[in-house]
Chains A and B, each alone.
Chain A
Amino acid sequence: MRVARNRQALYPYLLIAPALLFVILVVLFPVLRALLMSFQNYDLRRPGAIGFIGLTNYAAVAGDPLFRAALVRTLIWVLFGVGLQFVVGFILALLLHQHFAGRGIVRSVSLIPWVTPGVLIGLMWRWIYDGNFGVLNDLLVRLGIIRDFIPFLARKGTAFPSVIATIVWQGIPFFSIMLLAGLQGIPSSLYEAADIDGARPRQKLFYITIPSLRNTIFVTTLLRIIWVANSVDVIYSMTEGGPAYATQTLSVYIFNKASSMNLGYASTMAVFLMLLLSFVAVPYLRSMFRKG
Chain B
Amino acid sequence: MKHRAVKGRLLRLAGFFLPLAVLLVFLLFPFYWTFVTSVKPAAELYQARVTYWPAGFTWDSYRNLFGEFRFLKPMLSSLTVALSTTIVTLVVAVLAAYAFSRFEFKGKRIFMVLFLTNNMFPTVLLLIPLFTIMRRMGLLYTPSSLILAYTTFTIPFSIWLLSGYLNDLPSSLEEAAMVDGANRRQAFVKVILPVLVPGLVATGVYIFMQAWNEYTFAVMFTNERNRTIPVALKNLIGQLGVQWDLLTAGGIITIIPVCVMFFFAQKRLVEGLTAGAVKG
Interface residues of chain A, those whose CB is within 8 Å of chain B, are 9, 11-13, 15-16, 18-20, 22-23, 25-27, 29-31, 33-34, 37, 42, 88, 91-92, 95-96, 98, 100, 106, 108-113, 115-121, 123-128, 132-135, 138, 169, 172-173, 177-178, 180-182, 185, 215-216, 219-220, 223, 226, 229-230, 232-233, 236-237, 251, 254-255, 258-259, 263, 266-267, 270-271, 273-274, 277-278, 281, 284-285, 288-289, 291-292
Contact = CB atoms under 8 A, between A and B. Distances in A.
B152 interface: yes
Contacts of B39: none
A119 B280 contact: no
B33 A127 contact: yes
Interface string B13-25: 0001001100110
Given A9-B105, A27-B118, A172-B27, A273 B124 contact: yes
Interface residues of B, number: 97
B131 A116 contact: no
A285 B278 contact: no
B193 interface: no
B122 A112 contact: no
Secondary structure class of chain A's binding surface, majority of residues: helix
A291 B248 CA distance: 45
19 contacts: A15-B99, A16-B100, A18-B92, A26-B151, A27-B121, A29-B133, A34-B129, A88-B23, A112-B31, A112-B259, A116-B213, A117-B254, A119-B234, A123-B247, A220-B277, A230-B122, A258-B124, A273-B122, A281-B120
B96 interface: yes
A276 B103 CA distance: 35
A19 B93 contact: yes
A19 B133 contact: no
A37 B96 contact: no
Given A31-B121, A181-B270, A18 B96 contact: yes
A112 B28 contact: yes
A127 B242 CA distance: 9
Given A16-B99, A26-B152, A106-B24, A33 B121 contact: no
Given A30-B152, A126-B242, A258-B127, 5 more contacts: A31-B129, A95-B16, A116-B213, A220-B277, A236-B216
Interface of B: 16, 19-20, 23-24, 26-28, 30-31, 33-34, 37, 45-47, 50, 52, 91-93, 95-96, 98-100, 103, 105, 108-109, 111-133, 148-149, 151-152, 155-156, 159, 184, 209, 212-216, 219-220, 229-231, 233-234, 237, 242, 244, 247-248, 251, 254-255, 258-259, 262-263, 266, 270-271, 273-280
Given A181-B274, A181-B278, A267-B129, A233 B216 contact: yes
A180 B127 CA distance: 34
Contact of A115 (B121, B130, B209): B209
Given A22-B155, A124-B251, A274-B122, A34 B128 contact: yes
Contacts of A18: 91-92, 95-96
A98 B92 CA distance: 40
B230 A117 contact: yes
B113, B116, B274 pick with most chain A CB within 10 angstroms: B274
Contact of A258 (B91, B111, B220): B220
B27 to A, nearest CB: 6
Contacts of A29: 129, 133
Nearest to A9: B105
A258 B19 CA distance: 43
B26, B124, B254 pick with most chain A CB within 10 angstroms: B124
A2 B28 CA distance: 63
A216 B277 contact: yes
A94 B279 CA distance: 19
Given A16-B111, A34-B128, A216-B278, A115 B120 contact: no
B91 to A, nearest CB: 8
A52 B275 CA distance: 47
B23 A92 contact: yes
Contacts of B258: 115-116
A29 to B, nearest CB: 8
B27 A113 contact: yes
B220 A23 contact: no
B26 A19 contact: no
A62 B198 CA distance: 50
Contact of B234 (A9, A116, A123): A123
Given A109-B28, A281-B120, A27 B255 contact: no
Contacts of B28: 109-110, 112
B23 A95 contact: yes
